[in-house]
Structure 1
Amino acid sequence: MNKIKCRALLGFYENELTNNLLYFWKDACLDKEYGGYLNCYDNMGKQLVSYDKYTWSMGRFVWMWSKLAMMKGKTFNQSQKNEFLALAKNGRDFLMQHCLMGKNDWRCVFLMERDGTPKKVEGWDVLDMSVYADCFVVAGIGKYAEAANDRKAYAFAKQLFLSLINRIESGSFHTLPYPLSPRFRAHGIPMILTNVIKELHGASEKMDLGFIPTLLTHLKQYSDDILG
């Protein structure tokens, strides 16, 4: 591909990112009343169809805004990056206040009411429906900790990660609403954990060098599991 085509593609994707995707979401997602994000829109982005807040989705949004705040290059200026970091903090605060099952119960609820009250999904009787929700919270809060040099956020992400690993290794976790047959192991578990570890590693490099060997040990374990 020649340089002219590369520049054209770069311009296309920068325009899509800044003038379409971010133009919509940075205003539409923020819940100014209760914190966190409102992102259950219809496919056209014209109508908010639910005030429910899915924990995994909140974690993804925190990661996204944090990543954008750390972007290098000329696409975003410092003022825009500061705005992204403020948006990330909004989700960070909401999750750290509401996403856990209890004060000392380091499991994430799957779904919350708009105000953060845990909510059961219709047809299911457990609040911690999916360990994947925990994974996205660790990744999101960990990325925010790295972007903002936030030690409190890092401590939260680390504690949740340790709980997550313990539950994975003991087999005491759910993957609802897609239950895993006892005859199989989920490829998605080691796959997502390699990514979670990568995100937490970035924050650990800044704030907790002593934890890196533990992360690398788990990374090798789950990478080997994927590669067989």
Structure 2
Amino acid sequence: MTTIKQEMHECLTNNILHFWLDRMVDNEQGGFYGRIDGNDHVVADSEKGAILNARILWAFAAAYRVLGDHRYLDAALRAKEYILNHFIDKEYGGVYWSLNADGTPKDTK
């Protein structure tokens, strides 16, 4: 019989984190894709949101801290670098709410 800890570990590593690493890494324009539709198709030209990217950074950093898998560290660093290079407004400070798929600011408020 499995424990809840084993079930959560299995779900996290073989489902949630695996999904993000396998399906949502944007190798064309950097960072992570911003959307997948209801038919499990990535929408490559979808906007990328600051909140989603911050959550990706947190999730993979926490997963690396607890599980020690370097793939999670690499994903966390990818998210961090993308946030620093694209979401941070270098002229006025602050964070852009959303970006176009190519990493240019979409919503600058």
Q: The TM-score by the shorter chain falls in which range?
A: 0.7 to 0.9
Partner AA of 2:36 in structure 1: Y
Shift of 1:16: 1.3
Match of 2:56 among 44, 54, 61: 61
Aligned to 1:134: none
Q: Please give the alpha-carbon distance, in whole angstroms, between the structure 1 residues aligned to 2:51 and 2:3.
A: 35
What is the match of residue 24 of structure 1? 19
Determine which of 29, 39, 59 is the counterpart of 1:34. Answer: 29
User: Is the partner of 2:10 in helix, strand or coil?
Assistant: helix
Write the distance in 1 (CA, Å) between the matches of 2:86 and 2:13: 31
- Relative CO higher for 1 or 2, CA cutoff 8 Å, sep ≥ 6? 2
Q: Give me the CA root mean square deviation.
A: 1.9
Deviation digits for residues 158-177 of structure 1 (CA, Å, limit 9, x no counterpart): xxxxxxxxxxxxxxxxxxxx
Q: Which residue of 2 aligns with 1:48?
A: 42
Distance in 2 of aligned mates of 1:99 and 1:18: 28
Aligned to 2:85: 97
Kept in 1, the 8 Å contact 2:34–2:49? The answer is no
* Residue matched to 1:87: 75
Aligned residues, how many? 108
Task: State the one-letter code of the partner of 1:115.
Answer: D
> Does 2:101 correspond to 1:106?
no
Larger Rg: 1
Matched, 1:116 2:103: yes
Identical positions, percent: 24
SS at match of 2:31: coil
Q: TM-score, normalised by structure 1?
A: 0.43
> How far apart, CA to CA, are the structure 2 residues paired with 1:95 and 1:38?
13
Greater than 4 Å deviation, 4+ residue runs:
none
Q: 1:37 Cα shift?
A: 0.7
1:113 alignment partner AA: N
1:113-154 superposed Cα distances (whole Å, 9 cap, x missing partner): 12210113xxxxxx22xxxxxxxxxxxxxxxxxxxxxxxxxx
Instruction: Give the secondary structure class of the aligned counterpart of 1:119.
Output: strand
Q: Say which of 12, 15, 24 aligns to 2:10.
A: 15
Distance 1:17 1:28 in 2: 15
Question: 3-state DSSP class of the match of 1:87?
Answer: helix
- Partners of 2:82 and 2:98 lie apart in 1 by 13
Q: Any idea what SS the aligned residue of 1:13 has?
A: helix
CA distance in 2, matches of 1:107, 1:70: 27
CA distance in 1, matches of 2:9, 2:60: 16
The answer (yes or no) to whether the contact 2:25–2:33 under 8 Å persists in 1 is yes
Gaps of 5+ in 1: 121-126, 129-228
For the residue of structure 1 that corresponds to 2:106, the secondary structure is coil
